[in-house]
Structure 1
């Protein structure tokens, strides 16, 4: 079973149909929300969306790894990643 991804355009269409504003304005709203989220995360701050979940930036330490193609051992450098923790309500709905 192939899962479908929700696109920015589909989000704009949903806002358009729910709120009744033009699709162009709805697309600008979606872009503004994602832009603000990017700025917040790149500044190292968390984003808490009530009844949805929390996005946080995590530091990952360097570790030993293996190149799957050659089998050669190598060090994977330290990096940052975004972590999502769903809210209790969302977890409950997912696990029904």
Structure 2
């Protein structure tokens, strides 16, 4: 569990679910290639930390929801992955 973590400071672009057990964000890219590159970077990192997102993709959009299913709530792993996803999105968007 996260305790006193300030989500607005840690992951300001993410929205907390009404039940407080997950965070979500929609990433929008210039095109499908960027969206797919983002998803590939995220997938590789998710495998490294053994923590996987619930997500979907539609052309240039990637919708992501993070929660720790084994804990039944939001944990530090979700915040870690959210921060990495934010960084990967910025990296991909700078390339084109």
Name the TM-score, length of structure 1 as normaliser: 0.24
Q: Determine which structure has the larger strand proportion and give its number.
A: 1
Name the structure, 1 or 2, with higher relative contact order (CA <8 Å, separation 6+): 2
TM-score where L is the length of structure 2: 0.24
